[in-house]
């Protein structure tokens, strides 16, 4: 029978006076019950806990400590491991005696540890406020006994449903002769990692993490470049759109060209009335500037284009400009061959004279 069971607890234990002070050195031998404190530091001390591992399981406490000479008489199994379970110390127990296993199945399940310890006498207070006359120190395990009722209470017992023990002390495991364990291989990103070898696994995992971090750094750099190129592309697209619109806006329509030419001719004609020589290289602004400078002299120095335009308008408001526009020919006359009028070899049509045969 392999079980895990609580076998001891921290707290206050009650002993008879003769048990703790048989020679009455501390005046407690005749006391019915003596409170003895067993604190966490004592119960869960690593050296004390390890001292129980490998020690026997007995059926009740023997009259004397278990030794190599009486071991065969008392051992019903072995303590295989020990661990803390909250406020309790639990043992992995391996019972190997049929009679003892039958008693456990029959209800004899509580546990009581057999051990030696040092007692420190004095006034002590447990965490719950209980006053104690002594305190245990330096526990050394000897055995754990199956009993009907243990001093540690009913929680320190083999319980139904307790886990099967799975712990063995390392010193026992190390002494066993066994085949080399089968490696536990985990495939990580194509790299085989033997997780049964802590050092190798740690080195391989560190390599993987470094490679991952380097790859993440490259990805971050590429993402930044993509974002930059995207922003530049968007800026270029916006510039192209703007330029296309500017070109579209700057391209004059035939009507605009006609109006601009007409305006230039009018400005030129007005300037000519004031004695300005106009050349083909001069635009409206140059013509107006030349006119204002001639008429106003130094007074016009530094004037803006708007001021020059306003002055030109005043100076030329009474200018008489010849109408050089196209004169209409009159309404067309529809004529057939039979209606054509020939006179002195001249064909008259719509006010135009054409000589016959021309």
CA neighbor of 12 nearest in space, from 119, 136, 115, 157: 136
CA neighbor of 109 nearest in space, from 157, 167, 40: 157
Query: What tens digit of pLDDT does each residue of 94-103 get?
Result: 999 999 999 9
Which residues, including other chains, have CB under 8 Å from residue 238's CB and lie 6 or more apart? none
Bigger pLDDT: 144 or 180? 144
Bigger pLDDT: 135 or 192? 135
Query: What tens digit of pLDDT does each residue of 139-151 get?
Result: 999 999 999 998 8
Strands lying side by side in the sheet with 346-349:
342-343, 346-349, 352-355
pLDDT at 335: 53
pLDDT at 221 over 90: no
- Other CB atoms within a 10 A radius of the CB of residue 24 amount to 12
Residue percentage of the chain with pLDDT more than 70: 78
CA neighbor of 47 nearest in space, from 82, 92, 20: 82
pLDDT at 230: 84
pLDDT at 279 over 60: yes
CA neighbor of 63 nearest in space, from 137, 138, 19, 114: 114
Task: Please give the helix or strand (H or E) that residue 215 lies within, else none.
Answer: helix 198-250
pTM of the model: 0.46
pLDDT at 352: 47
pLDDT at 261 over 70: yes
pLDDT at 75 over 80: yes
pLDDT at 357 over 60: no
Angle, CA of 294, 299 and 301, to the nearest 5°: 85
- Other CB atoms within a 10 A radius of the CB of residue 242 amount to 10
pLDDT at 264 over 90: no
pLDDT at 259: 81
């Amino acid at each position: 029978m392999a079980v895990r069971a609580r076998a001891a607890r921290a707290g206050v234990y009650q002993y008879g006076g003769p048990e703790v002070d048989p020679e009455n050195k501390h005046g407690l031998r005749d006391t019915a019950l003596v409170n003895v404190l067993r604190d966490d530091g004592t119960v869960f001390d690593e050296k004390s806990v390890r001292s129980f591992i490998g020690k026997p399981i007995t059926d009740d406490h023997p009259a004397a400590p278990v030794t190599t000479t009486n071991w065969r008489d008392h051992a019903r199994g072995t303590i295989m491991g020990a661990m803390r379970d909250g406020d309790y110390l639990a043992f992995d127990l391996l019972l190997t005696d049929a009679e003892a296993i039958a008693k456990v199945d029959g209800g004899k399940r509580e546990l009581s540890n057999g051990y030696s310890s040092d007692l420190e006498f004095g006034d002590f207070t447990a965490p719950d406020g209980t006053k104690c006359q002594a305190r245990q120190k330096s526990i050394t395990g000897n055995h754990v006994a199956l009993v009907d009722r243990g001093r540690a209470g009913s929680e320190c017992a083999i319980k139904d449903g307790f886990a099967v023990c799975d712990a063995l002390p390392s010193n026992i495991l190390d002494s066993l002769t066994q085949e080399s364990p089968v490696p536990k291989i985990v495939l990580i990103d194509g790299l085989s990692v033997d997780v049964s070898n802590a050092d190798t696994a740690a080195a391989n995992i560190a390599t993987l993490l470094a490679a991952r971090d380097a790859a993440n750094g490259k990805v971050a750099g590429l993402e930044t470049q993509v974002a930059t190129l995207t922003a530049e592309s968007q800026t270029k697209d916006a510039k192209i759109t703007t330029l296309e619109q500017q070109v579209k806006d700057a391209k004059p329509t035939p009507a605009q060209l006609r109006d601009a030419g007409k305006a230039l001719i009018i400005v030129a004609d007005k300037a000519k009335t004031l004695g300005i020589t106009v050349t083909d290289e001069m635009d409206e602004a140059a013509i107006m500037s030349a006119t204002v400078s001639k008429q106003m002299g130094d007074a016009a120095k530094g004037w803006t284009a708007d001021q020059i335009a306003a002055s030109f308008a005043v100076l030329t408001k009474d200018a008489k400009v010849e109408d050089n526009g196209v004169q209409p020919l009159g309404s067309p006359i529809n004529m057939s061959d039979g209606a054509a009028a020939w006179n002195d070899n001249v064909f008259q049509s719509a006010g135009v004279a054409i000589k016959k045969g021309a």
